[in-house]
Amino acid sequence: MLAAFGGEQGSSVQVVEPATPAAASAAAAGSRQQLGGSEGQEPQAVDATEAAAAAGAGALLPSQPACLDAPMHLMRVRSIPSWANAGFLGASLSSLVCGNIRWILIQNAMLDLPWLLSACPDLHRAERILLVSHRPWLAKKAKVEEGAKPRTLQARERKLADVRALGLEDRASVYEPAIGGHGTNHSKFFLVDYERGMRVIIMSANAVFSDCNNKTQVLFTQDFPRKDEQSPKTSAFEGALEAYIRELRMPCGPTLHLVQLIRSCDFSAARGHLVASVPGRHKGADLHKWGHMRMRAVLCQEAFPARFRGAPLAAQMSSLGLLNERWLVREFRYSLAAGLCEGGTDVLGLPANGPLGLQLVYPTVEEVDD
């Protein structure tokens, strides 16, 4: 089980994997389809070796049989032993963001577009690129020297300059979602649309060289085919993804087109629950729609072996942000411990009080500086 998100202070999209083996095995077929191949090529199930060797296929499967169809990966890290980058430990954007891309939505808190196109050269051939990036809310309060431009405007102009320098001005658009002064847009994901379906990539890394090459990062990816006559009309994953896209508050045209693309795909075999956070304070019907309360609602539907009753809780993050002890103890702990005991209706329950009850893993200042 993995859960990670930005809390009410931020906006992020992450995935909680289903706890039940039946849910995972039933979904396996949905992740085998090869979406990024050349036109006219029939989709087919492939084994790990064939997938890795397929030119332009954007192979999702690692090279070790035991790792077939794994939705969760660690990203490749430079200058470490080769075994540490093997199988699901060595995912790279170049093998995922590739092939005959029709539309692609790229959202990230930090986006180095020239580097990203060098790492994923097939982006140069994409028919349409939507770039959604973080608008720093602190810039609203920052003092601006006379005659100087605000940081938000400077950042947007840099992105537009990159688009022009790369010759993408006729195919790429830059959006910075407006926020109401509370929270940030911190999501890091790709929606890659192909002729036969859509690839979803959600990761913990900023789209910059150092994050994607020098640090341990986690990545979820799965391919989803177009709907056919046997496909369900919708699914929980589809609904959550569409709701998040609407919350980006992009112009009507690209929003509606993305919604149509999402609705055209079958997400019923999704091997995870989508847990998204959006800026703002949520109440009423939206209380369990976003953030840790969404995670709580998801976990309440999942059954775990009885040995997990009262088990210690651990959460990993890149920074603590505005989290405080009161919120961690009185809210976040209860959300993490919301799973059900297998074979019954009892919840797992909270761990013992004290430092071992809730463990937070985050980098030190020295580690960040290095």
Tell me the Cα Rg of the chain.
21
- Beta carbons within 8 Å of 156's beta carbon, 6+ residues apart: 174, 176
Q: Which of 173, 228, 221, 168 is nearest to 196 (CA)?
A: 228
Q: Could you tell me if 135 and 111 are in contact, meaning their C-beta atoms sit under 8 angstroms apart?
A: no
292 noted as active-site residue:
no
CA angle centred on 288, ends 5 and 322, rounded to 5°: 40
CA distances in angstroms from 288 to 15, 298, 307, listed in the order given: 16, 9, 27
Q: Which of 274, 360, 276, 359 is nearest to 317 (CA)?
A: 360
Which of 186, 273, 282, 288 is catalytic? The answer is: 186
Q: Could you tell me if 131 and 173 are in contact, meaning their C-beta atoms sit under 8 angstroms apart?
A: yes
Query: Is residue 289 part of an annotated ligand binding site?
Result: no
Bridge partners of 359, per DSSP, are: 314
Which residues are the active-site residues? 186
Binding residues: 188
